[in-house]
Amino acid sequence: GAVVSQHPSRVICKSGTSVKIECRSLDFQATTMFWYRQFPKQSLMLMATSNEGSKATYEQGVEKDKFLINHASLTLSTLTVTSAHPEDSSFYICSARRAGGGIQYFGAGTRLSVL
Amino acid sequence: KNEVEQSPQNLTAQEGEFITINCSYSVGISALHWLQQHPGGGIVSLFMLSSGKKKHGRLIATINIQEKHSSLHITASHPRDSAVYICAAHNNNDMRFGAGTRLTVKP
């Protein structure tokens, strides 16, 4: 089945640094990728939707200058948390979908801890 | 009221029991997903269905479009089934998630 690889799985960083999370579709071309955030014991919340080659669409309340998304190829999207602060500590999950819609395949997630 | 409601929130079962998790939604959908989230956080897509019933191993998912209701069943439950199960209503680019059902299967 389709596989989405997300890296790193865990990152600890100091406040003020930037962190990049990669999301790769390993055996299919993902025209659309989604980035979610999950706080402890809460459901996933969509942060942004990115289509290959175009700017990401951010959900209301998500700062696009804070969470930079790049979807430069059909197999790779990146989320960069700029100038991370402790309140950015969370679990970030990506998912990818083929052209034409259908099932979303989820990455394993990245647990970000900002000290 | 949430657009996607799951019940129960928490469920504890003995190994071997038959388990049902319910999902009701109030939005229009093109498909409904059932996801499994392991304790470490990783998510696996179990089913995507838009009508009827699907079966994969010990897992069965059903959906009633008219009633806007879906169920996930686990037969002969096992401790390794312990996880959070999430239903998600999918409409084009929009996916709305339920709060999840935390399942614990005791040996």
Is A5 in CB contact (< 8 Å) with chain B? no
Q: How far apart are CA B48 and CA B37, in angstroms?
A: 15
**pLDDT reported for residue B91:** 77
| CB nearest B45 (choices: A46, A103, A111) | A103
The candidate with the shortest Cα–Cα distance to B88, out of B102, B79, B105, B100, is: B100
State the DSSP code for A109.
Answer: -
**pLDDT reported for residue B96:** 86
**pLDDT reported for residue B44:** 84
Q: Phi and psi for A61 in degrees, rounded to 5?
A: 90, -5
Closest residue of chain A to B48, computed from CA coordinates: A103
Tell the residue number behind the tokens 């299919």, with chain if given: A28
Q: Phi and psi for A94 in degrees, rounded to 5?
A: -110, 155
**pLDDT reported for residue B92:** 67
Is B44 in CB contact (< 8 Å) with chain A? yes
Q: Are A47 and A58 in contact (CB under 8 A)?
A: yes
Q: What is the per-residue pLDDT across B17-30, written as a single tens digit (0 to 9) for each?
A: 999 999 999 988 88
